[in-house]
């Protein structure tokens, strides 16, 4: 089981090509050429992702609309080269060469490169596997473009060596633009949903596993209480008692869990609290019904099957890394409840990308199916247990009758 779990996160660098990142050149000139060349020449392995080169007209020629791709989950990040980057830098270089006045750094209000990402979607994946390759590619673009700019400046300054250009002013302007010459493609990061505070990450990873353990204890204790009443109370009453008990206990556990998380998360919105509480109630109820199903059907071996079930679900639930960084085998995670529990929780806490409607829909379907299966199996085992009790009672009565007959004959 440990090997199975570790296999989900084994050598994720092999699968970084599954991470989609949109690359958009709004400049279309010299800076844009260096920008695109840098991404096209990234080395394979963990230094490259699946670069999806887009045209500005796909976004209505507006930088502001590019973040929608991240919000919709189409890509993990968007890297944009701002429009007019080359012309803005060339104007400053021209002023430096002519040196009639002091020049200022031209990129004060808008950085040339904009990186848009969503840390709340999966903090570990974003910070370890998505952002480093992007930074490496932009660093390469910086070196390429910086060399081009320095070559241009040296060539033009050499051609003006015999002119009456103010050398002192040229030197001052060169010093004022040194950051531009060293780092012409400065980066601005736009993190749509920060994965802070840390309790949010904890709540949507280890927290839900803890809920699973709590529901296991809760269900086990309830079944132990109800077992002596089998055969004494009608099985329909037992089932209703069992199901209603699970729903009520899940309501209380999810309430306590939600209050603790939202208090540590400094969330005071009543609407967000109700959404998070109801979602956790649904999740906890489903987990408790799953545990009931295993305990009802496997008895003493239920713990073994529960451990197997937990490992399988945790391996495909994006606890640490996204499923894109795992082997194709572990893509089964998209269909298991815990994946939808964790990603739905991240959406409610961070506001990050999630098909929340699908998350809730899948959990509701699982809940309905598990309730049906659990009720049917409880009916089956209860009736079987009642038959065994009646059989023992009949055997006991028969033995008593035979004993009475023997005593009567002897008398």
Cα 230 to Cα 216: distance, rounded to the nearest angstrom: 21
Q: Which stretches of the chain score pLDDT less than 70? A: 1-9, 44-46, 95-109, 156-178, 218-242, 386, 389, 393, 397-411
Give the pLDDT of residue 17.
87
- Note the helical H segments in 183-301: 198-203, 206-226, 235-264, 270-298
Stated pTM of the model: 0.80
Output the pLDDT for position 169: 63
User: In terms of C-beta distances under 8 Å and separation of at least 24 residues, what long-range contacts does 291-295 make, across chains too?
Assistant: 291/212, 291/215, 291/216, 291/219, 291/220, 292/219, 292/223, 292/242, 292/246, 292/374, 293/370, 293/373, 293/374, 293/377, 295/219, 295/220, 295/223
**Residue 304: its pLDDT value, please?**
82
Residue 77's SS3 state is strand
pLDDT in tens, 59-112: 999 999 999 999 988 999 999 999 988 888 887 777 666 665 656 656 656 889
Place of tokens 């241009």: 152
Say if CB 81 and CB 24 are below 8 A apart.
Answer: yes
Main-chain phi, psi angles of 62, to 5 degrees: -125, 125
């Amino acid at each position: 089981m440990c090997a199975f779990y570790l296999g989900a996160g084994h050598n994720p660098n092999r699968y970084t090509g599954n991470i989609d990142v949109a690359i958009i050149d709004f400049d279309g000139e010299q800076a844009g050429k260096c920008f695109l060349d840098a991404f096209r020449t990234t080395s394979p392995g963990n230094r490259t992702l699946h670069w999806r080169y887009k045209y500005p007209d796909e976004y209505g020629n507006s930088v502001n609309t590019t973040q929608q791709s991240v919000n919709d989950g189409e890509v993990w990040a968007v890297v944009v080269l701002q429009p007019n980057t080359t012309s803005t830098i060339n104007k400053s270089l021209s002023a430096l060469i002519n040196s009639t006045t002091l020049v200022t750094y031209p990129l004060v209000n808008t950085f040339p490169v904009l990186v848009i990402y969503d840390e709340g979607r999966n903090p570990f994946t974003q910070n370890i596997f998505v952002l480093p390759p992007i930074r490496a590619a932009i660093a390469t673009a910086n070196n390429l473009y910086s060399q081009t700019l320095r070559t241009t400046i040296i060539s033009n300054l050499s051609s003006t060596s015999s002119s009456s250009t103010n050398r002192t002013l040229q030197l001052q302007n060169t010093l004022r633009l040194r950051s531009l010459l060293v780092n012409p493609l400065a980066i601005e990061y736009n993190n749509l949903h920060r994965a802070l505070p840390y309790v949010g990450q904890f709540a949507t990873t280890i927290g839900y596993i803890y809920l699973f353990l709590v529901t296991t204890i809760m269900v086990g204790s309830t079944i132990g209480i109800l077992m002596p009443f089998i055969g004494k109370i009608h099985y329909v009453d037992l089932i209703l008692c069992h199901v209603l008990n699970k729903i009520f206990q899940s309501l209380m556990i999810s309430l306590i869990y939600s209050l603790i998380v939202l208090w540590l998360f400094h969330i005071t919105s009543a609407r967000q609290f109700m959404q998070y509480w109801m979602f956790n109630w649904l999740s906890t109820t489903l987990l408790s019904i799953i545990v009931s199903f295993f305990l009802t059907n496997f008895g003493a071996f239920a713990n073994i099957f529960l451990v197997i079930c937990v490992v399988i679900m945790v391996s495909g639930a994006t606890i640490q890394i996204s499923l894109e960084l795992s082997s194709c085998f572990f893509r089964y995670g998209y269909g298991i409840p815990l994946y939808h529990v964790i990603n739905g929780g991240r959406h409610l806490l961070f506001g990050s990308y999630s098909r929340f409607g699908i998350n809730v829909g899948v959990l509701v379907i699982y809940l309905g199916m598990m309730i049906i299966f659990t009720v049917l199996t409880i009916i089956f085992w209860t009736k079987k247990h009642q038959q065994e009790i009646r059989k023992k009672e009949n055997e006991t009565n028969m033995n008593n009758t035979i004993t009475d007959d023997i005593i009567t004959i002897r008398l």
